């Protein structure tokens, strides 16, 4: 159920409708749009009897939503969601592309600072780095945990980059939400519904990666879990799915970008690193992702990929990331987007020293 308010409805009228929805035992989600506010209703196991909602002042119409997802849908919000970061002019989901770069894992201060300085100097506005790693083997490097989060907080101070890092479980989530700017939910956790709900109770944007065999609808439903708890800042991420093809680690499904944008107002970024698993394929697929309308890229870059403790084979050398930024900028211009540049300049005395 969706209550569409008239274009000139006042904040008081919107609040009165929300109060009435609560009184009926449901949860209202007021999502302001450019021309009108729509109020999604969740918490209803079956259809809501819309009582007298359509009679309340300021209400244009009450619509039954037949799709299994609501808040993620363009039915509720026609315009693209644009996410803002307090204290910066950074936006995600607008004209600017979200360029996220950094190592798969934070391995040491030296590795993290060296990589961060180089991707920031190349213009990245977001730094990625795993503190908690969901590894296939329990004996593989699992991440430095909170120590990695403190290193990334220092990197934010030094470079101005916003921090994106994964929460693998609810304990990690509390810490990640304290330190990071964007909470990543990984492919393996895309259907961990209790974790999704918990992330929905945090007040930081969530980068939600597509599960290895998830359909678009399943991805949207996962985003709906986050939004249903009141966190509306969700960024979808295509990171490749498992198919019979074995020339790449995963099959990057770029057609999900226009398909998701048709159904949902949420931004969608592409991860060509996990999507290919091979360094020499990353630039091509990054170009293609920008060309097909992705709202950004998340790319693994390592100062010494050959020594990486995770995902070295798909990590770019810093020089390759400079080329990726240049090419992405050119392609972005053709499709009406732009690649904003971090103004960080690497101090001369640290070049090659970190
Ligand atoms: C990652 O970003 O390092 C990661 C583990 O990604 P995914 O969840 O897509 O495998
Ligand atoms: Mn990785």
> Ligand 2 centroid vs 260 CA: distance in angstroms?
23
Burial of 70 (0-12, 13-18, 19+ CB in 10 A): buried
Q: Is the CB of 143 under 6 A from ligand 1?
A: no
| Ligand 1 pocket, mutate which of 188, 206, 269, 274 (most atoms under 8 A from CB) | 274
pLDDT for position 68: 86
Question: Which atom belonging to ligand 1 lies closest to the Cα atom of 274?
Answer: 9
Q: Is the CB of 186 under 6 A from ligand 1?
A: yes
Q: Is the CB of 130 under 6 A from ligand 1?
A: yes
pLDDT for position 352: 66
Question: Which atom belonging to ligand 1 lies closest to the Cα atom of 209?
Answer: 9
Q: Is the CB of 239 under 6 A from ligand 1?
A: yes
Q: Which uninterrupted H or E stretch holds 196?
A: helix 193-200
Q: Is the CB of 70 under 6 A from ligand 1?
A: no
Domains of the chain and any CATH numbers: 2-63 (3.30.70.1140), 83-334 (3.20.20.70)
User: What Cα–Cα distance (Å) separates residue 20 from each residue in 9, 28, 47, 229?
Assistant: 16, 9, 16, 19
pLDDT for position 353: 64
- Contact of 186 with 216, CB cutoff 8 Å: no
Model confidence pLDDT, tens digit, residues 8-45: 999 999 999 999 999 999 999 999 988 899 999 988 76
Mean pLDDT in the chain?
Answer: 95
| Ligand 1 pocket, mutate which of 101, 104, 131 (most atoms under 8 A from CB) | 104
pLDDT for position 261: 98
Per-residue pLDDT of the chain (354 residues; tens, 9 = 90+): 899 999 999 999 999 999 999 999 999 999 998 889 999 998 876 666 777 899 999 999 999 888 889 999 999 999 999 999 999 999 999 999 999 999 999 999 999 999 999 999 999 999 999 999 999 999 999 999 999 999 999 999 999 999 999 999 999 999 999 999 999 999 999 999 999 999 999 999 999 999 999 999 999 999 999 999 999 999 999 999 999 999 999 999 999 999 999 999 999 999 999 999 999 999 999 999 999 999 999 999 999 999 999 999 999 999 999 999 999 999 999 999 999 999 999 888 777 666
pLDDT for position 279: 98
Q: Is the CB of 134 under 6 A from ligand 1?
A: yes
Which residues are near ligand 2, the ion (C-beta closer than 5 Å)?
104, 311
Q: Is the CB of 187 under 6 A from ligand 1?
A: yes
Show Cβ contacts of residue 184 under 8 Å, excluding neighbours closer than 6 positions: 128, 164, 165, 166, 167, 206, 207, 209
* Ligand 1, atom 3, residue with closest C-alpha: 104
* Ligand 1, atom 6, residue with closest C-alpha: 186
Q: Which uninterrupted H or E stretch holds 259?
A: helix 256-263
Q: Is the dihedral of CA 75, 79, 80, 86 positive or negative?
A: negative
**Using DSSP, how many helices (H) and how many strands (E) does the chain show?**
10, 14
pLDDT for position 50: 74
């Amino acid at each position: 159920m969706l209550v569409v308010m008239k274009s000139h409805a006042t904040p008081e009228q919107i609040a009165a409708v929300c109060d009435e929805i609560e009184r009926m035992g449901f949860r209202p989600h007021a999502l302001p749009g450019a021309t009108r506010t729509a109020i999604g209703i969740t918490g209803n196991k079956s259809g809501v009897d819309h009582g007298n909602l359509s009679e309340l002042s300021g209400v244009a119409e009450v619509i039954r939503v037949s799709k299994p997802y609501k808040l993620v849908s363009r039915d509720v919000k026609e315009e693209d969601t644009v996410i803002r970061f307090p204290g910066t002019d950074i936006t995600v989901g607008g004209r600017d592309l979200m360029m996220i770069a950094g190592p798969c894992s934070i391995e040491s201060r030296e590795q993290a600072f060296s990589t961060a300085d180089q991707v920031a100097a190349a213009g990245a506005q977001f730094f990625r780095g795993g503190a908690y790693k969901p590894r296939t083997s329990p004996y593989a490097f699992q991440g430095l945990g909170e120590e990695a989060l403190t290193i990334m907080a220092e990197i934010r101070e030094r470079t101005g980059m916003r921090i994106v890092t994964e929460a693998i479980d609810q304990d990690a989530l509390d810490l990640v939400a304290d330190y990071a700017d964007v909470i990543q939910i990984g492919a393996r956790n895309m259907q961990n519904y209790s974790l999704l709900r918990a992330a929905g109770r945090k007040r930081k944007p969530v980068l939600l990666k597509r599960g290895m065999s998830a359909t678009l609808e399943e991805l949207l439903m996962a985003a709906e879990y986050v939004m249903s708890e009141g966190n509306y800042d969700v960024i979808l991420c295509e990171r490749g799915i498992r198919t019979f093809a074995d020339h790449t680690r995963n099959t990057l499904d770029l057609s999900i970008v226009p398909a998701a944008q048709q159904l949902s107002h949420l931004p969608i970024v592409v991860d060509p690193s996990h999507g290919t698993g091979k360094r020499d394929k990353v630039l091509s697929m990054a170009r293609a992702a920008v060309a097909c309308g992705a709202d950004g890229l998340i790319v693994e870059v390592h100062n010494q990929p050959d020594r990486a403790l995770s995902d070295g084979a798909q990590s770019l050398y810093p020089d390759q990331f400079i080329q990726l930024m240049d090419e992405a900028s050119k392609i972005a211009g053709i499709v009406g987007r732009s690649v904003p540049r971090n103004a960080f300049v690497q101090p001369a005395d640290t070049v090659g020293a970190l």
